[in-house]
């Protein structure tokens, strides 16, 4: 593929070609690949082109649940977005307050005060990020104007089987008709479906870090569907901003806390994606752990390779599958992914290692749970839905040290 300079100009018809722009990093000797939306729906293209003709005209964005961690990350990521402007923010318990009073690190942002959801004027927005708690989103999204594009960061539309949703989340699904049209938004896997979607269910953090490496391998038949063991670790921000005794400093500091053993709510989401990839029922052994750090996630996966397959085969397939992707990076052989190398960014770093047990391999994947595991992937998805390059507003490099 030819190397070209990376451009992030306002969207035009040329910006939506199927070619990938590339910009070489002299620091890391890596190619930063800027995947752009291809085959965008005509209506989205026309809207984007109309916006481009008037450079001061931006898509109007609503953030529902702006007082939570994922909501604040959306605000941070949109601060320098050339085509999105926040015109509505909701936070029932913080209604009437500016974002700077809730998140002082965002005090420089010129944004509208937060309002209660019931007082929100949705005629002032073109699309919304829904960052509300699980179980509250279905009714709200059901009541939104049909013209709005929606990316939902809760779990309310991730499971296609509404009976399974009720089993794992303890309440009946409140919008089964909407569920039929919701697209599961694992961007690198479902790009074409996301482009034409009205409602995208943004994946969970653990499922993102797990499915990105495993789905390509299962699709190719390189690993067995049985005996998949996943050991995953997350920063405390993954538990949300609500006051909980288990998340107090003295409860989580200087230790590792296993939780949700065999019953974590991300299990059916993970199994749904892996089962789709393999065209057979997949059951995984998944144990998450809370780590004494603010953000970051590592998933270590132990898999059984198909007969005759080697770890080099797994490595080469992942290399080929993600070769032209912007945000999924397969490291050089023997390099170990670390959470500190993705902090604050939308990148997923991964690698494959041979297990001491013959016929098995170890796969390590790291993401920032609040960015690629939540708000960053949500922005990646809305970029696609609105017909603009999907990396727009997401080229923040990891924060280190």
Q: Which residues are known to be catalytic?
A: 205
Phi/psi of residue 295, each to 5°?
-145, 160
Locate 274 and state its tokens.
């892996």
Nearest to 262 by CA among 229, 240, 239: 229
Locate 58 and state its tokens.
């931006």
DSSP 8-state symbol, 374: I
Its sign, for the CA torsion 267, 303, 309, 338, is positive
Nearest to 131 by CA among 94, 168, 164, 161: 94
CA distance 218 to 215: 5
Nearest to 313 by CA among 248, 217, 247: 217
Distinct helix (H) and strand (E) counts, the chain: 12, 15
Locate 223 and state its tokens.
């690993």
DSSP 8-state symbol, 254: T
CA distance 252 to 344: 21
CA distance 366 to 372: 10
Locate 340 and state its tokens.
């500190």
CA distance 394 to 19: 19
Q: Contact at 8 Å (CB) between 369 and 233?
A: no
Helix ranges, 92-240 (H): 99-102, 137-142, 162-169, 176-179, 191-195, 205-219
Q: How do strand 348-354 and strand 328-330 relate by DSSP bridges?
A: parallel
Residue by residue, DSSP assigns 198-224 as SEEEPPPHHHHHHHHHHHHHHHTT-B-
């Amino acid at each position: 593929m030819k190397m070209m300079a990376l451009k992030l100009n306002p969207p035009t018809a040329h910006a939506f070609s199927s070619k990938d722009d590339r910009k070489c990093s002299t620091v890391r000797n890596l190619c930063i690949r800027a995947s752009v939306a291809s085959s965008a729906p005509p209506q989205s293209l026309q809207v984007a082109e109309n916006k481009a003709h008037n450079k001061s005209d931006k898509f109007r964005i609503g953030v529902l649940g702006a007082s939570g961690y994922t909501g604040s990350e959306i605000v941070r990521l949109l601060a320098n977005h050339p085509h999105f402007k926040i015109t509505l923010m909701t936070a029932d318990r913080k209604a009437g307050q500016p974002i700077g009073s809730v998140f002082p690190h965002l005090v420089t942002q010129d944004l509208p005060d937060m309002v209660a959801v019931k007082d929100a004027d949705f005629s002032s927005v073109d699309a919304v990020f829904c960052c509300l708690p699980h179980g509250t989103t279905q009714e709200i999204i059901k009541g939104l104007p049909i013209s709005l594009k929606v990316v939902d960061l809760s779990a309310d539309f991730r499971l296609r089987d509404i009976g399974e949703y009720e089993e794992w989340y303890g309440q009946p699904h409140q919008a089964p008709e909407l569920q039929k049209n919701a697209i599961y938004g694992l961007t690198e896997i479902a790009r074409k479906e996301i482009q034409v979607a009205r409602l995208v269910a943004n994946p969970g953090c653990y499922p993102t870090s797990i499915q990105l490496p495993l789905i390509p391998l299962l699709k190719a038949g390189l690993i067995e569907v049985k005996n998949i063991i996943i050991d995953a670790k997350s920063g405390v921000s993954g538990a949300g901003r609500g006051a909980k005794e288990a998340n107090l400093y003295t409860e989580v500091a200087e230790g590792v806390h296993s939780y949700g053993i065999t019953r974590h709510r991300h299990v059916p989401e993970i199994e749904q994606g892996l089962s789709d990839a393999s065209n057979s029922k997949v059951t995984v052994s998944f144990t998450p752990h809370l780590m004494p750090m603010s953000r970051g996630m590592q998933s270590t996966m132990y898999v059984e390779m198909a007969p005759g397959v080697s770890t080099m085969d797994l490595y080469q397939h992942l290399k080929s599958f993600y070769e032209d992707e912007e945000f999924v990076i397969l490291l050089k052989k023997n390099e170990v992914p670390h959470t500190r190398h993705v902090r604050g960014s939308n990148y997923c770093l991964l690698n494959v290692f041979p297990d001491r047990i013959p016929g098995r391999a170890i796969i390590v994947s790291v993401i920032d749970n609040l960015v690629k595991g939540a708000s960053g992937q949500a922005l990646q998805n809305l970029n696609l839905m609105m017909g603009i390059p999907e990396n727009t507003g997401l080229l923040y490099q990891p924060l280190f040290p």
